[in-house]
Amino acid sequence: MRVILVPVADRPECVHALNAAFGLAERLKANVAGCHVRPHREERHGKHGPLLPLMLEDELLPELPPETVKLNSDNARRLFRDMARTRDIPMARKPRFENHVLAYWQEMVGTPARVLGIAGPMADLLVVSRPRLRSSGIGRTFMLAALLNSGKPMLVLPQKRAKLPAKRIVIAWDQRSLAASAVTAALPLLRLADEVQIVRCGAESIPGPKARHLQNYLLHWGIESEVRYEAGRDPARELLDVYRETRSDLLVMGAYSRGRLRERILGGVTHEMLMNTEVPVFALHS
């Protein structure tokens, strides 16, 4: 990982996301890019009246007075620069390769989905704060925009300081290629872990690599792991039980492999882990 992107707003939970991002950057020799999203007045009011978002995740930011928009932007930039300064990380204007961590700041105009659809693919990892449990505010909008529009892995943190790099990691394994891609993306973190649990909920009855195949793959990277088989009657609950039993501090998973709308209506593991728990999640949707 070389570029870690953090959407930054004038919100308390962003402090935890930035702390985690800068901490990871120092361990991985990566750079941190802070991105503040400002609303575009023309997106809200077109020639023929108010505009509607193109997609469910492409939600418009709240309409605010220009002076409030500027104040929010200034505060977000100050938060990012102060965080970099306290860690003695220099700010850089243009990307360059160094053997130490650099911090970059950018402000972009648009909806969260559109902005993170531009900035997100040009990062190796996005770090966001999870919205409050079962909430539907701007935090949730940014989280879904980062996950669904970047095509890159996302680290979702609870609204409190998380222990990173994680020392005990649980991998939710479902034999699908999306889960395998999530594991590959998480290799820099898995290599720093002390314990790795591979959890398969239900029978390994679909085409695709089994848990023992993943275990062997990780050995190529020098990563020892333990395989846990659960009944599969309630995968989300079983994952949480293993997570708590092993005192883990990160869950790695593929996100919305069945489709977000279907999971939202019928329920699913991704939706439960992202929306209704306080578990730090490393997730990939593509």
- Per-residue pLDDT in tens (0 to 9) along the chain, 286 residues: 999 999 998 887 788 899 999 999 999 999 999 999 887 665 544 444 444 343 444 455 566 677 778 888 899 999 999 999 999 999 999 998 988 999 999 999 888 888 999 999 999 999 998 876 655 567 777 888 888 888 999 999 987 777 777 899 999 999 999 999 999 999 999 999 999 999 999 998 888 899 999 999 999 999 999 999 999 899 999 999 999 999 999 999 998 765 555 445 334 788 888 888 889 999 998 7
Tokens 């002076």 found at: 67
pLDDT value for 135: 54
- With contact defined as beta carbons under 8 Å apart, do 283 and 147 qualify? yes
pLDDT digit string, tens, across residues 94-127 = 998 988 999 999 999 888 888 999 999 999 999 9
> What CATH topology corresponds to 168-284?
Rossmann fold (3.40.50)
- With contact defined as beta carbons under 8 Å apart, do 112 and 59 qualify? yes
Instruction: Name the phi and psi angles at 37, rounded to 5.
Output: -105, 120
> What CATH topology corresponds to 3-157?
Rossmann fold (3.40.50)
Domain ranges of the chain: 3-157, 168-284
**Identical fold, 3-157 and 168-284:** yes
Q: Are strands 195-201 and 168-173 parallel, antiparallel or unpaired?
A: parallel
